[in-house]
């Protein structure tokens, strides 16, 4: 393979392909054709430091165009459910908002934009280079209301005024009008995802962390304030079971209906009532029959049905909205 050659690209589903292999007959999925930017020798001699474009795709199997660097100061590309979250939170100008697990900052910047950049948006993440990414995105979009800190969200609550931290974490109880907890999760709703290397232990490890973060969020929220909990996964344990646990553990919070309501209702199995399940939003791409759909057959489809299909053909995602009814 030389630079400029036309190349077919496949995904090695099971991770069996050895570096330098001349042929490969294991399980693979065709992703499309492209033109090589580098020779085979340049690719392999440059690893693992080599970064950038190796193959420029000219005939991808996915028809969506690339939005990389398209009006970067004006547009921020998000999955549909990720964009819905900030609208469900419904931040208002002048409010103090906390994004408890904020990186890389897509929802943070959306919140600030919905507030017309008036008020204060505190963004926390415990990984320093991710926090830097939040700051870069805020700067790129010209948003001045965002303050990002490298801080562990589970330690964001301080119970007494030991020293004045001048608006930096940790924070005193009931300091925020609205809080977004887009919790760390197993990420099983992310797609396309060609290979799955999760273990059962990994998938089940997130529930305790999510509960720690939720407990902190409830205490940091003002009475009358809104708390939105979201994940990009599809497991009952990280979604509906967490809602049921929260309602049992914190009598001061109540589940709320969401606006806009684009996803489906919650999944049964966690002991929530039918009414409560209707108050949740679960985005489940498995309900869309697209793999068996002939694209040409969609030409005569009603616009409402096309919108329904488009709204459902997204990543797997979950949203729950709570209001804090009384002080803790």
Q: What distance separates the 2 farthest-apart alpha carbons in the chain?
A: 67
The three-state (H, E, C) secondary structure of 108-134, written as one string: HHHHHHHCCCCCEEEEEECCHHHHHHH
φ and ψ at residue 9, rounded to 5 degrees: -115, 130
Q: Which one of 17, 232, 252, 325 is the catalytic residue?
A: 232
DSSP state of 189: T
Q: Binding site annotation covers 212?
A: no
Instruction: Assess whether 185 carries a catalytic annotation.
Output: no
Q: Binding site annotation covers 104?
A: yes
Structural contact between residues 233 and 318, judged by C-beta atoms closer than 8 angstroms:
yes
CA distance linking residue 138 with residue 11, whole number of Å: 34
Q: Binding site annotation covers 237?
A: no
Q: Binding site annotation covers 246?
A: no
CA distance linking residue 328 with residue 326, whole number of Å: 7
Q: Binding site annotation covers 289?
A: no
Q: How far is CA 261 from CA 68, 140, 175, 196, 255, in A?
A: 29, 30, 28, 30, 14
Q: Binding site annotation covers 125?
A: yes
Under DSSP, is residue 267 helix (H, G, I), strand (E, B) or coil? Answer: coil
CA distance linking residue 166 with residue 150, whole number of Å: 15
Q: Binding site annotation covers 106?
A: yes
Kind plus residue range of the DSSP H or E element containing 241: helix 240-249
DSSP letters spanning 65-123: PP-TTSSTTT-----HHHHHHHHHH---TT-EEEESS-TT-HHHHHHHHHTTT-SEEEE
Q: Binding site annotation covers 101?
A: yes
Q: Please, what sign has the CA dihedral across residues 134, 205, 212, 282?
A: positive
**Partners of residue 286 on adjacent β-strands:** none
Structural contact between residues 203 and 235, judged by C-beta atoms closer than 8 angstroms:
yes
Q: Binding site annotation covers 21?
A: no
CA distance linking residue 116 with residue 134, whole number of Å: 18
Q: Binding site annotation covers 105?
A: yes
| Residues in binding site | 101-107, 125, 152, 182
**What positions carry a catalytic annotation?**
232
| Residues in binding site for S-adenosyl-L-methionine | 101-107, 125, 152, 182
């Amino acid at each position: 393979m030389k630079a400029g050659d036309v190349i077919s690209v496949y995904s090695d589903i099971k991770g069996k392909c050895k570096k330098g292999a001349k042929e490969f007959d294991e399980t693979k999925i065709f992703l499309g054709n492209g033109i090589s930017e580098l020779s085979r020798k340049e690719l392999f001699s440059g690893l693992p430091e080599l970064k950038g474009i190796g193959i420029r795709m000219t005939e991808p199997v996915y028809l969506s165009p690339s939005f990389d660097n398209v009006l970067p100061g004006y547009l921020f590309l998000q999955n549909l459910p990720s964009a819905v979250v900030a609208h469900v939170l419904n931040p208002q100008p002048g409010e103090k908002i906390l994004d408890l697990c904020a990186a890389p900052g897509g929802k943070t910047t959306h919140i600030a934009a919905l507030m017309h950049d008036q008020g204060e948006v505190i963004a926390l993440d415990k990984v320093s280079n991710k926090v830097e990414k939040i700051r870069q995105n805020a700067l790129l979009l010209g948003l001045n209301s965002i303050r990002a800190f490298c801080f562990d969200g589970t330690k964001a609550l301080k119970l007494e005024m030991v020293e004045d931290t001048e608006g930096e974490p940790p924070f005193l109880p009931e300091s925020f009008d609205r809080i977004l907890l887009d919790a760390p999760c197993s990420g099983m709703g992310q797609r396309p995802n060609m290979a799955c290397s999760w273990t059962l232990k990994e998938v089940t490890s997130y529930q305790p962390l999510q509960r720690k973060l939720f407990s902190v969020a409830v205490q940091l929220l003002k009475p009358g304030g809104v708390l939105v909990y979201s994940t990009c996964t599809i497991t009952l344990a990280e979604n509906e079971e967490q809602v049921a646990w929260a309602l049992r553990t914190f009598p001061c919070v109540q589940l709320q209906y969401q606006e806009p309501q684009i996803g489906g209702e919650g999944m049964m199995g966690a002991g929530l009532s039918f009414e409560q399940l209707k108050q949740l939003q679960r985005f489940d791409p498995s309900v869309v029959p697209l793999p068996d759909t002939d694209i040409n057959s969609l030409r005569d489809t009603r616009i409402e049905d096309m919108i329904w299909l488009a709204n459902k053909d997204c990543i797997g995602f979950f949203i729950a909205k709570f209001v804090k009814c009384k002080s803790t």
